Structure 1
């Protein structure tokens, strides 16, 4: 099979706040296994495709690189010039796909449990990608109001459960969703697509000239001209080549904390818990997530409790779709907790903000082997560094030093400095910044990545 996997990794959703933030969205969270949702998406397809393309934004490039390195997989990372929804992203991926390949297009933040069964569906559907743009529909298990639905038309393949598409339906009321299920004619719209490159280009040409230009030129100007539309709205609702393959498989778009609760294993009191530092007494049907701080639950029912280092969410499960309202209020107040996670990925590794206050900031940094921090200086702050693990090669002014575990060094204001990990293990350090101004625009770099 000549298949290129296209993994869409540009979303910055806030429905799983406070774990998910704009600078560290849900596709990078590890909710159900040792792997992130993004890593699970890559591992799900790697055995049945020739190449993997990751379409993402420049904001997530280094996170994607890090997560790929963790699972030892190479992929071609394509940067969207500007965020434009899935239609332009898929057109850009089409441009980068080899001729004669079919594109298997999957979101990076969904959950599908049975990898082998999913792969079998892909193999059975592949022959139809030369004549149809296949979208995958999920057999509904309950009247979900947060998903779109697909009404099935005539049968194209009874053996492989492939149908023509009669219509797409946006998120319905609960009563209407129940009617859809009772009819047996509707499936959940999964947002997964499968189609031949030439077929996609031809449909872009017929339906949307801007998408056609992106798929044949791949240039910035074409991308800028395209409308920010979903692939469903831009193409699938207009093409005569659409078809739907039915997947009888456990799937979730992990679109709310309620859906996370439903996917996790439960204890004897029907609580879903991530983390081990808790005590629950007379509490049931709760979702409790805490990485570090102890959580004590007494007589709680049907609550969502998500604790992070800088924010805690407590909500009734029935209000799980309303988390965005809190984020919107934080944005209105210019509170950076609305969008910024405490972890930031960089070319050298990452850093975690541990504490900050007036005139000080404490961060923990990890530099991967043979990586370095660019040569830089700061006019308004000093820095005190402590090596926790590994070896640091340090340039301060024009002098070079080596520092090891439990050793430290000081960088005065307006002094050029450079830090490198010359070793073969990770270099971990604490950085204490002190000064009257600690923002990143006080960083003067000699080499910019």
Structure 2
């Protein structure tokens, strides 16, 4: 391998690679730590957009898992992608990987610390067996229309990464979009790549227009290609606190067949920082010994950062309308409509509108104002309304529950427990519960008792009593739960034993 280095005396170093040489193995890294705000009300804090089928039948996470398939016979791609996600999204992430037939290594972050610590954990996991692999890091919530074009750009970036550079994929802009960060191009290199001169945060509209007109700026896609050893060296150089915290957290990790759980106390000492701020903005400076390269990506990329960008990425009818679910258009133009909750959404004479329906919320927005949804979600959070955090139907590792009704001192849920699954052994300080079996068979633990319930049978769980619900049968167990008490929040759960490793 011929390493690429910049020195203080070199303002314009030569960056080259040997196209005939073999590269190190490629390891896909999927950064899946996002939270749901900009695609509200479909995405929520507990169910962000990467877990949703925004475009097509697959979720964005599942589509991302398949992006390194059929990469090319001359390349070795490690079959197990490394997925980094938060604990609150682990079970949904794991379930979607299994549904896709992907045997992923899932690294569960103990807390949110942005993408630089996440990539550091991924580098440690990917190189744990002694291989200095090339990391192909990509966000879990973006859309790519042309996989062949993506593979071509990754191949070029991998050549630079194999030679020691830190490569990123840049998208030549088509409009002056203020929702993206930009990369200023330095001197040209092989295969259409450029040295990175600098990264620029999301600009004002006038500045974005100047960037696009100049032809010297590309959108920042958030995809990076770098050797694991180079990333660990560069993060140690520029962000030693992140490096130290992540190394200690990984060394103290709990490793199972299902996931890697870094030590929480060590990891939470890491500063929170993005890859751009922590590393990429330092490249190209006089005191940097690392070279940054940007490779063009012309693959129909979108970060799906707003409902307007979803509309742009979808197929449209002759009047420019796009839809998901049960939707009818009559005299509508340039409208996006989505029926998430199953009800019919009818748009008559609408123009440049976003209409999104879920079980518990409806969004109607002008397409030119979709960036303001983030502020709307902040207001919903400030009012402590549940619509900011979770859907009415909430998935759990044992099944799901659907909140049917609620009031000041009561809540009604439909709970479905999959065959062989069980809830944690738990108690509540502020509520009692009534359970009625609708279908299936329930095995109930209540204090020192254990008994079976069949269809149309019920039981009462007093406040403060340890209890557990299990499904010993071969069909899903469905119950109606009526909660009553002074506080009905999901955080009023004290767990004593949990099959799925959840605490609290």
TM-score, normalised by the number of residues in structure 1: 0.90
Mapping for residues 191-210 of structure 1, pairs under 5 Å: 191-210=222-241
How far apart, in 2, do the equivalents of 1:440 and 1:138 lie? 42
Larger deviation: 167-176 or 237-246? 167-176
1:172 pairs, out of 192, 197, 203, with: 203
- Indicate which of 93, 114, 134 corresponds to 1:85: 114
Relative distance call for 1:81 and 1:384 in structure 2 (3 A) is closer
Deviation string, structure 1 residues 154-190 (Cα, Å, up to 9, x no partner): 23313xx322112222222334333333333321100
Distance across 2 between alignment mates of 1:121 and 1:373? 46
Q: Which residue of structure 2 lines up, in the alignment, with residue 280 of structure 1? A: 329
SS at 1:226 equivalent: coil
Partner of 2:177: 144
Aligned with 1:157 (options 168, 176, 190): 190
- The Cα shift of 1:247 comes to 0.9
Contact 1:201 1:215 in 2 (8 A): no
Q: Is contact 2:437-2:453 (8 Å) kept?
A: no
Pick one of 394, 409, 431 that aligns with 2:458: 409
Distance change (3 Å), C-alpha of 1:381 and 1:299? same
Match of 1:188 among 208, 219, 223: 219
Instruction: Please say if residues 446 and 461 of structure 2, whose CA atoms lie closer than 8 Å, have aligned partners that are also in contact.
Output: no
- Per mean C-alpha deviation after superposition, the further-off stretch among 408-417 and 310-319 is 408-417
**Which 5+ residue runs of structure 2 have no aligned equivalent?**
1-23, 72-76, 251-263, 284-289
Residue equivalent to 1:125: 157
Match of 1:16 in 2: 39
Matches within 5 A, 1:231-270: 231-239=275-283, 240-270=290-320
1:243 deviates by 0.6
Q: CA deviation at 1:428?
A: 4.0
Residue 415 of structure 2 is aligned to residue 382 of structure 1: no
Query: Which deviates the most, 253-262 or 323-332?
Result: 323-332
Matched, 1:420 2:453: no
State the alpha-carbon separation in 2 of the partners of residues 225 and 433 from structure 1. 39
Aligned residues: CA RMSD: 2.4
Matched, 1:315 2:365: yes
* 1:50-106 Cα deviation digits (max 9, x unpaired): 131111111111121222222122212212232111111112222222131111111
Q: CA deviation at 1:437?
A: 4.7
Determine the C-alpha separation between the residues in 2 that align with 1:215 and 1:394: 42
Whether the aligned pair in 2 keeps the contact of 1:93 and 1:215 (CA below 8 Å) is no
Cα displacement (A) at 1:323 = 0.7
Aligned partners of 1:360, 1:431: CA distance in 2, in Å? 10
Deviates more, 1:101-110 or 1:296-305: 296-305
Q: In 2, Cα distance between the equivalents of 1:399 and 1:200?
A: 54
CA drift of 1:125 comes to 2.9
Give 3-state SS (helix, strand or coil) of 1:373's partner: coil
**1:31 corresponds to which of 54, 59, 78:** 54
1:7 and 2:30 correspond: yes
After the TM superposition, which of the residue ranges 69-78 and 365-374 deviates more from structure 2? Answer: 365-374
Alpha-carbon distance in structure 2 between the residues aligned to 1:238 and 1:226: 19
Contact 1:14–1:21 (CA<8 Å) still a contact in 2? yes
Cα deviation for residue 109 of structure 1 reads 0.8
SS at match of 2:279: helix
Q: TM-score, normalised by structure 2?
A: 0.81
Name 2:63's counterpart in structure 1. Answer: 40
- Residue 274 to residue 207, structure 1, CA distance change in 2 (3 Å): same
Structure 1 unmatched runs, 5+: none
Distance 1:378 1:183, change over 3 A: closer
The aligned residue for residue 360 of structure 1 is 410
CA 358–210 in structure 1, closer or farther in 2 if over 3 Å, else same: closer
The alignment of Structure 1 onto Structure 2 pairs a total of residues equal to: 443
- Contact (CA 8 Å) 2:170, 2:218: kept in 1 or not? yes
Contact persistence 2:143–2:302 (CA under 8 A): yes
